[in-house]
Amino acid sequence: MLPIYMDHNATTPVDPRVVKAMEPFLNAQFGNASSSSHAYGWQAQAAVKKAREQVAAFVGCTPAQVIWTSGATESNNLAILGVARALRREKPHFITQVTEHKAVLEVCEAATEWDATVTVLDVDTQGFVRLEDLKRAITPRTVLCSIMMANNEIGTLQPMREIADICRTHKIILHSDSAQSAGKCNFDLKTLPIDMISLSGHKIYAPKGVGVLIVRPINREFELKPILFGGDQEHSLRPGTLNVPGIVGMGEACALAMSEMTEECTRMCTFQKQILLAVQTHFPQIKLNGPQKSRLCNNISLSIPELVPDELALDFSGVAYSSGSACNSSNPKPSHVLKAIGLSDTLARATIRLGLGRFTSPEEVQTVTSKLLKMLGKLYRSTTVAQNF
């Protein structure tokens, strides 16, 4: 029997309604969206057009601003390196934060090969960027700021409105890796002035291998440059045959998220509070990483003093979750995010992340809560808790 899935911040299952929307484009309607001389291509073009409109409606942009990619990692590369290439002669300065996903941090490092310089901002103990630090980091050569909307490990929701206002004042391009916040945070680009955002299908119940970069009109004279070559698809920014089934899936996933997000977030927030209340009532020594409020509705990151990581798999068996190690599970180093908010190596390794999802049931939440309390009761020799749960 498979374990209870509690790792939705890592990936989500494909919603059956998304699968249904994709199915025709996996067999009968298999055309290439670049083929304009026959019905197979026209069907594919129409499907891509509809999906583009669904994504645009979801985030509050125009369809023309939706650029298809293979996922948020590629979108981040295109956004950051595309600016670096476009403004290379200016020796551009970029700003990001230490708790970004490696798909931003390593891309910013790569941008130095195009003569960019990079400032990496520290965060406070809850993972928030200090706005005064951001202001102080700005120089006359600052052209890009890349700040994720929601942290994938500790759930921190950054103050994007204030960050956007600072960037707009200084005519700085603002990019945000929004893979985690999509479908969980209610943002509208018609009123929130973020210039570029990266989205990933597999975080919102669409398939892996499809994503989006939203590129909006920017208050700076420059033209984003491609980083891949070999075709004129996607305004010549992202060449290659479009992944029509994946694109259809992402469009449908965005439409579902748009219609169901409020109810879904309320339900996940209830589950989140239920688990946290049980843990914090019985074991106040357990540390919640990230803020109590202003966090993702589905994310729980707990650091457990005295926990031996090797024993966790046995004591918490039957649950699929993430540990406090780096994003690459083969990397023995503790998470750079947990280190950035002040955790020791030992406590960072003694951390678990639970990610609730659309199909998480009340019964699963109760089972996971019981398993967690039993494990903690055993660890801290609290026989009463261990027996009652």
The active-site residue, picked from 61, 167, 254, 327, is 327
- Phi, psi (degrees; rounded to nearest 5) at 339: -65, -35
Residue 217: pLDDT band by 50, 70, 90 thresholds?
A: confident
Provide, rounded to the nearest whole percent, the portion of the chain with pLDDT above 90. Answer: 85
- Residue 389 · residue 43 · CB < 8 Å: no
Q: What local confidence, expressed as pLDDT, does residue 347 receive?
A: 94
Is residue 221's pLDDT more than 80? no
* Neighbouring C-beta atoms of residue 328, cutoff 10 Å: 9
Thinking of the domain 4-9+261-388, which architecture would CATH place it in?
Alpha-Beta Complex (3.90)
Q: What local confidence, expressed as pLDDT, does residue 233 receive?
A: 93
Average pLDDT, the chain: 93
Q: Cα separation of 215 and 195, whole Å?
A: 6
Residue 371: pLDDT band by 50, 70, 90 thresholds?
A: very high
Cα angle: 243, vertex 247, 248; to 5 degrees: 120
Q: What local confidence, expressed as pLDDT, does residue 162 receive?
A: 98
Q: Cα separation of 346 and 331, whole Å?
A: 15
Residue 170: pLDDT band by 50, 70, 90 thresholds?
A: very high
- Residue 321 · residue 352 · CB < 8 Å: yes
CATH 3.90.1150.10 domain extents, the chain: 4-9+261-388
Residues in the chain: 389
Q: Does the annotation mark 327 as catalytic? A: yes
Q: What local confidence, expressed as pLDDT, does residue 186 receive?
A: 86
CATH 3.40.640.10 domain extents, the chain: 16-255
Q: What local confidence, expressed as pLDDT, does residue 289 receive?
A: 98
Residue 313: pLDDT band by 50, 70, 90 thresholds?
A: low
Q: Where are the beta strands (DSSP E) in the chain?
A: 4-5, 66-69, 93-97, 117-121, 142-146, 173-177, 196-200, 211-215, 287-288, 299-303, 319-320, 322-323, 351-355
- Which residue matches tokens 């070999």? 230
**If you classify domain 16-255 with CATH, what class do you get?**
alpha beta
Q: What local confidence, expressed as pLDDT, does residue 50 receive?
A: 98
**277 or 333, which is more confident:** 277
Residue 384: pLDDT band by 50, 70, 90 thresholds?
A: low
Lowest mean pLDDT segment, chosen from 318-327, 335-344, 369-378: 318-327
| pLDDT digit string, tens, across residues 131-156 | 999 999 999 999 999 999 999 999 99
Is residue 246's pLDDT more than 90? yes
Residue 387: pLDDT band by 50, 70, 90 thresholds?
A: low
**Average pLDDT, stretch 212-240?**
90
| pLDDT digit string, tens, across residues 184-198 | 998 899 999 999 999
Is residue 52's pLDDT more than 90? yes
Give the helix/strand (H/E) hosting 278: helix 244-282
